[in-house]
Each structure stands twice: as C-alpha cells, then as structure tokens.
Amino acid sequence: MKRKKHNPLIPVLLTVVLLALTVLLFLLVRMLMDGRGFRTDSCEPEKRTEAGEIAIVTPAPTLLDLYVYFDWTETTTINVYDHRADKIVPMDLEEYIVGVVSAEMPAYYEFEALKAQAVASRTYTLYRMAHGRCQTNPDADVCTNSKCCQAFSTHERMQNTWGKDYANNYNRIAEAVMGTAGEVLVYDGKLCDALYHACSGGQTEDSEHVYANALPYLRGVDSPYEDPMRTEDVAIGEDALIELILTKYPDSGITDDNYRDLIAIDKAYPSGRVETLRLGKETITGKQARNLFGLRSTMFTIIWPEDGIVFHTKGFGHGVGMSQNGANGMAKHGSKYRDILLHYYTDVSIASYGADGIATPAPGDADIPPEPEG
C-alpha cells in the first residue's frame, strides 16, 4: 500500500493564511469602530425612529479623518442653535457646513454642485456671523431653522432621511465640504452675502428687486441649465379666489363679475418676475402676490380657465444669487464649482477664510434669510 505523501510546505502556508485573515479581521473591526466616532450630540449608535424601526447605522468617516485626509489644520468653532432640540451646540464650522449642505441640497446632485453649495453656505454663514449673528437666538452664531439661517441635518436626521444610503451620501457631501474647506466668496476684499435659491426659472434676479439693497455681486444672470426646471400651475377656483383677495384686500373691489377684467400683471422685471400685480383698486408687489396665492416664485403668468384663475409659475425661491438647480445643470455640462460660483456671483473671487486679505465686512446690509430647498 502506497502511503500518501504530505507536502511539508502546507502547514506553513496554512499558518500564513490564518495570520493574514486575523490581521484583516482586526483592521475591519477597527474601521467599523472608528466610523462611530461622530462628534454631534444627536448621533447615537442605534436609535429607534418615530415609526419604531431601527435606524440604520453605517460607518461614516469622522470629520477628524477628513481633516487629516485633506491636510486641513485650521479649525473654527461656532455655536449652533438647534431649534428642534432647543439647545446650543458648539461645533466645528466645516462639520456644520456638512449638515447644512445635507439639508439644503439633494445629496444626489452633481459633486461640483455640492462643492459650490458648500462654498456658498460657508460664505453665507460667516457673513451672517459678521452681521449680527442669529436673529432667533442671539446667544448663538447661527441656528438650524431655514426660515432664519440655513437648514441643517444632524446625523440622526440624515440617517432617518437617507436610510441605507446614509454612509454614501454623508461621505459624498463631507468630501465636497472638505474639498473646499475654508473657501469663501469675497467681493472687494469682503465676505459676500451669498444668497441662493432652489431654481431661477432661467434667469436670476437683481438683489434690489427682491430685497432692500443693490449688491454688486448679486446681479441677475442667465441660468441656462436649470436641472430640473421647476414649473407649476396653481389653479384657484372662482369662490376661493374672491375670498382670498377680499380677506386680505377688502377695498380692492374685486367681485365674481369683474375679476377677469380687474386682475392683471401691472409691471414685470426684465427677468420675467412680476414687479406689481393689479387687484382692482389695489396694486400689490410680486412678493405679496407670491405669499397671497402660495406660489413658488414671482416668475409667473396668468391663464384664464372657465372658472377661476391659473398662475403658471417658473422657478422656486427668491431668485437671487446661485440657483441650486442651475448649479446642478452647469455641473452636468462640465462646469467646475468655481465656474458655477463665478457665474452666479458677479465679479467675486474665492478666498481662504482666515487668510490675510479678508477685511471685516461693514455691518448694515439687508438681513436676508435664504429660502429652503423645496
């Protein structure tokens, strides 16, 4: 009987493979553990959502990892008022910007659009801080309420919103933020009031047509690649229309017999946004009309159906500064974030926050909160 011969190398090879597997397993466990080191208070490893489901916790890099990755050493701590939790949370500026971009722009937007948003949001934040801080909570630099400062997502909110895409989306946005860390928009050496909105409808607006001040870098420009272009028809029936108008403007003299003749666009800006709308004996601004009829923007025309009225609107938001959908469209057509920013903010340059050359901006400019992404 022939005895089977063992190769003396086999036990050695097996030992080497086992050792390698152990090391790999150790590294994997360490990576997973590191990913939980978020610095926001709201992030807990496992949390029940309101619906009673377990929120998915997937590893995402800590901001610290990204600081090392991007060799970014300067940090700025700001006090953020979390209006939902009613508490002030000190946080790193860049970490705050990740939360803002997560809430203000869809995570699936083009990477260069996310970077442009990061620079706009950072500039807007620092400009606000230099101009009287948060109006809601004067003890804070900024708050998380989009009606006052900018929208913001905590890790918990990101997990609940994104579910299994949380890690991917977070990493993508954090990379866009850290890839532009410290970059801000300046005009004439001073921080800009970097307003932005969801969709311009094809043309942005001069700041003085919407707000008090004519700012040289907030000029109306073409926005050729709005993606998506937001259009909406708002239909209001005859009875509802008359009631809506008379409740707010009882002296307008509008009745169900005359409304077709007495409601008309009075003046429009070259962009197509309505400057004034005639309601019988009253003339209201486009902004007042937008509020009254619940329109997405003041860029609208009137259509007369059989009964009532239809406002055909284009765009979403105030129309001043960068259009987010326009930025996404430009990025799809190959523009880099710098091209996008220099397109929407006239004659600005990109500077590093904290570097020499940024003078403290003069106070007194219009206080204009951005509009949330719709």
- Where does this chain bind Zn ion (CB under 5 A)? 134, 136, 143, 148-149
- CB-wise, 148 or 215, nearer to Zn ion? 148
Q: In whole angstroms, give the CA distance from residue 79 to residue 144.
A: 11
Compute the least distance from the CB of residue 237 to Zn ion, in Å: 38
- In the numeric block, the tokens 């509008």 are attached to 254
Question: Which run of H or of E encompasses 329?
Answer: helix 324-332
Q: In whole angstroms, give the CA distance from residue 95 to residue 40.
A: 9
- CB-wise, 123 or 159, nearer to Zn ion? 123
- Strands 196-197 and 231-236 turn out to be unpaired
User: Comparing C-alpha atoms, which of 213, 179, 180, 177 is closest to residue 321?
Assistant: 213
Crossing angle of helices 111-130 and 324-332, in 10° steps, is 150
Question: Which run of H or of E encompasses 290?
Answer: helix 286-293
Compute the least distance from the CB of residue 135 to Zn ion, in Å: 6
Q: In whole angstroms, give the CA distance from residue 76 to residue 293.
A: 42
- CB-wise, 154 or 298, nearer to Zn ion? 154
- CB-wise, 319 or 370, nearer to Zn ion? 370
User: Comparing C-alpha atoms, which of 333, 341, 331, 296 is closest to residue 108?
Assistant: 331
Compute the least distance from the CB of residue 107 to Zn ion, in Å: 23
Compute the least distance from the CB of residue 368 to Zn ion, in Å: 12
- CB-wise, 46 or 86, nearer to Zn ion? 86
Apex 333 CA angle, 328 and 335, nearest 5: 75
Q: In whole angstroms, give the CA distance from residue 358 to residue 346.
A: 18
- CB-wise, 58 or 136, nearer to Zn ion? 136
- Strands 274-279 and 263-268 turn out to be antiparallel
- CB-wise, 148 or 331, nearer to Zn ion? 148
Compute the least distance from the CB of residue 369 to Zn ion, in Å: 8
Compute the least distance from the CB of residue 145 to Zn ion, in Å: 6
Q: In whole angstroms, give the CA distance from residue 73 to residue 59.
A: 23
Compute the least distance from the CB of residue 137 to Zn ion, in Å: 7
